[in-house]
Structure 1
């Protein structure tokens, strides 16, 4: 009887430990912060295994991966847009027009970025950052 309880306890511990590690945010922390993309089937299957064994941890794993964006494949390519092209998106008052910016990025890189997504974080730059890029502040 004592051996059976140890085996059950060991299986339970291994199962819970594997559930804690079956999460895209743990395997790929560099993917966090993405808004959308193609879902990584490996991470989706690992999260689904959590649903198979325990419903609540599996749902939490899916929720965390979708909320952080770690379930999506990381884009493997980079694209650059010349700063002169980006000047067209800046209005006379110095504010950036998101629709013009989205059009410029789509025409230059071929990628459609959801700039109207409410989860998008926008940061204000400083004069020093503009100087490092060789740009003059216009406002």
Structure 2
């Protein structure tokens, strides 16, 4: 008895698609546990492919990825340095010593930030902003 190649191909495609259920949970398990964020378009498209071929497994994939949080892109991280520590990087004439600032950030955050990079965007502040952070303006 000969089985048509279309039937074999259909079974193989069905098996592969059922393996893609909950793509985010399978591909990026480290994302599980997130509550919200931006939705990863790659995971959303892969889950939507499951809906195109099989409605129930596709909906289950979306449900699992949303429930586990694996569908969300990983969030950025933030870090804070006490203003008193940053005060050490301000020179007597009110300018910021980039070398001292870089050393403070290196010791506090454990990351080497290239403060001399020409792509670095610097914003100018006001006296009120300095006072809000506890700095004494000196110029």
| TM value normalised by structure 2 | 0.51
Q: Which residue of 2 aligns with 1:59?
A: 59
Alpha-carbon shift at residue 45 of structure 1 (Å): 0.7
Shift of 1:81: 4.6
* Aligned residues: CA RMSD: 2.1
User: How many angstroms does 1:16 deviate by?
Assistant: 2.5
In the other structure, the counterpart of 1:50 is 50
2-side partners of 1:39 and 1:19: how far apart?
22
In the TM superposition, residue 41 of structure 1 has moved relative to its aligned partner by 0.8
Match of 1:3, SS state, is: coil
- Contact kept? 2:20, 2:46, Cα under 8 Å: no
Match of 2:79 in 1: 80
Aligned to 1:3: 3
8 Å CA contact 1:25–1:65 kept in 2: the answer is yes
2:41 corresponds in structure 1 to 41
Do the aligned residues in 2 keep the contact of 1:24 with 1:71 (CA within 8 Å)? yes
CA distance in 1, matches of 2:50, 2:20: 10
Aligned counterparts of 1:58 and 1:66: Cα–Cα separation in 2: 12
**1:28 aligned partner:** 28
Mapped to 1, the partners of 2:43 and 2:36 lie a distance apart of 15
Unpaired segments of 5 or more residues in structure 1?
84-139
Task: Please give the per-residue CA displacement for 1:39-96, whole angstroms capped at 9, x wherever unaligned.
Answer: 0111111101111100110010000000000001111x3223569xxxxxxxxxxxxx
